[in-house]
Amino acid sequence: MKQLLLVLVAASFTFAQWNGWNGGNNGGGKSINDYKKISVSGRDVYVYAPSGLADNSPLLLSLHGAAQDPNYQQENTHWETVADTAGFVVAYPKGGEGYSAWDISGDQDTKWISAVIDQLVKDYKLNPKRVYLSGFSMGGMFSYHAISKIADKIAAIAPCSGTNVYGASKAQRPVPIIHPHGTKDDVLGYDQVEGFLKNYRDQFNCPAQAKEEKNYPNEENPGATMYTWGPCDKGIYIKHLKLEGRMHSPSHADISDIWNFVKEYDLDGPIGGGSTPESSSSVESSASEPTSSGSVGRSSSSRVRSSSSDVARSSSGGAHWGLSSSTEALPVDPSLLKVSVFTSSDNYIVVAGAEGKSITVFNSLGHVVRTTRGLAGDQKVYTGAKGVYIVKVGNRTFKTSL
């Protein structure tokens, strides 16, 4: 175990120097100082709860890698940017002492994480059946380990670049999995991924053949591929996001895909008992298909503004994109009056005049395909398949198309 930690620690420091800590604010959003720091059994947990959080909301825990900490994990993922829109609590627990590592073979940390879940469910009146576990590197390894120990607490997992060096665990039950991994990972090599995931596909009796979606949209690694196996036992699915060229790094670019997958499950399986995860993946992945230069609704102009694009006060369609009527009825912030949304000649949705504002892009079925923070000037926020999109900037909502 000590030798493993030394390898992971060295790799973590190498990555941190190469990556420049991902700019310190990848994805916009808040810093760890905007989170509430609590203590569970003497260890720190950083918690973010959106304002106006409803009772019975979900919980997602995001675990850092070896020799890292909650601050590093948060500044590279910014889960609060999705939590604000989707309405769930996100927590960044701190690993054990020494190398800030996780116990990926015993039960010391699974017991602690179980206690963290119990505490947060109680404090925030959360839904104990909708708890999701994600993590990077050793945090991802722990996610896999957790389903062999506390699967009764975890509805779905999203290990990122975290194939467990001790091998695949024996899961206590079929648990939905989405696993992003970079092809240039020089710490936990990509060549391990297929064999590792096959262990779980075999355990859960998944179909042998994956649904393969090429050119899957990922803002950091264009040309990604999403593989989907399912339905497996209990109606669950396993997904793998192959990220061309990515090294060993956590990223904000993956969190919308993770959330759109895990949110479809509770401890009983697919919410509603249907096959929503498969249809959700096909909707999300439709944006991965290359869009021709002759996209409908575009002209040769570099700015093609949608007619009647501002639908912030529309009486219809709001609920379809997760926009409540109360949100639409809010007075428009005067600083948002200068915001505009248009389609560029190279087929991007562009937002202008939204510096510092939250931006969320929904596809035609209401799934979040991008969340970010507005920058000065014109900002390309999304490109994908032909279709209608809703762009929410602050409490103002726009309808546009690609």
**CB burial readout 279-308, b (16+ within 10 A) else e:** ebbebbbbbbeebeeebeebeeeeebebee
pLDDT at site 268: 94
Instruction: Report how far residue 303's alpha carbon sits from residue 297's, in angstroms, rounded to the nearest whole number.
Output: 11
How much is the average pLDDT of 179-190? 96
pLDDT at site 274: 52
Tell me if 372 sits within 8 A of 402, measured CB to CB: no
Based on the number of CB atoms within 10 Å of its own CB, is 4 exposed (0-12), middle (13-18) or buried (19 or more)? middle
Higher pLDDT, 389 or 18: 389
How much is the average pLDDT of 199-221? 94
Which residues 6+ apart lie within 8 Å of 272 measured at CB? Answer: none
pLDDT at site 309: 44
Here the tokens at position 141 are 């390894």
pLDDT at site 394: 84
Higher pLDDT, 331 or 110: 110
Determine the angle formed by the axes of helices 138-146 and 108-124, rounding to 10 degrees: 80
Element counts in the chain: helices (H) and strands (E):
9, 20
How much is the average pLDDT of 186-214? 96
Please check the confidence at residue 61 and state whether its pLDDT lies above 70: yes
Instruction: Report how far residue 70's alpha carbon sits from residue 64's, in angstroms, rounded to the nearest whole number.
Output: 6
pLDDT at site 395: 80
- pLDDT per residue as tens digits for the range 77-98: 999 999 999 999 999 999 987 6
Higher pLDDT, 311 or 365: 365
- pLDDT per residue as tens digits for the range 225-249: 999 999 999 999 999 999 999 999 9
**Mean model confidence pLDDT for the chain:** 81
How much is the average pLDDT of 195-203? 97
pLDDT at site 5: 53
Tell me if 134 sits within 8 A of 61, measured CB to CB: yes
Higher pLDDT, 228 or 360: 228
Please check the confidence at residue 267 and state whether its pLDDT lies above 90: yes
pLDDT at site 281: 36
- As a whole-number percent, the residues of the chain with pLDDT over 70 amount to 77
* Domains assigned to the chain: 2-286 (3.40.50.1820), 303-401 (2.60.40)
Higher pLDDT, 272 or 218: 218
N-term to C-term CA, the chain: 51
pLDDT at site 331: 52
Please check the confidence at residue 65 and state whether its pLDDT lies above 70: yes
Residues in the chain: 402
For the chain, helix, strand, coil in percent to 5 are 30, 25, 45
How much is the average pLDDT of 157-161? 97
pLDDT at site 325: 39
Residue 37 amino acid letter: K
Instruction: Report how far residue 110's alpha carbon sits from residue 64's, in angstroms, rounded to the nearest whole number.
Output: 15
Instruction: Give the range with max mean pLDDT: 75-79, 275-279, 317-321, 393-397.
Output: 75-79
Please check the confidence at residue 366 and state whether its pLDDT lies above 80: no
Higher pLDDT, 311 or 59: 59
Residue 283 amino acid letter: V
The residue to which tokens 């009647």 are assigned: 308
**pTM tops 0.75, yes or no:** no
pLDDT at site 150: 98
pLDDT at site 389: 87
- pLDDT per residue as tens digits for the range 84-139: 999 999 999 999 876 578 999 999 999 999 999 999 999 999 999 999 999 999 99
pLDDT at site 107: 94
How much is the average pLDDT of 366-382? 85
Which residues 6+ apart lie within 8 Å of 349 measured at CB? Answer: 341, 342, 343, 361, 380, 381, 382, 383, 389, 391, 400, 402
pLDDT at site 100: 73
Please check the confidence at residue 38 and state whether its pLDDT lies above 70: yes
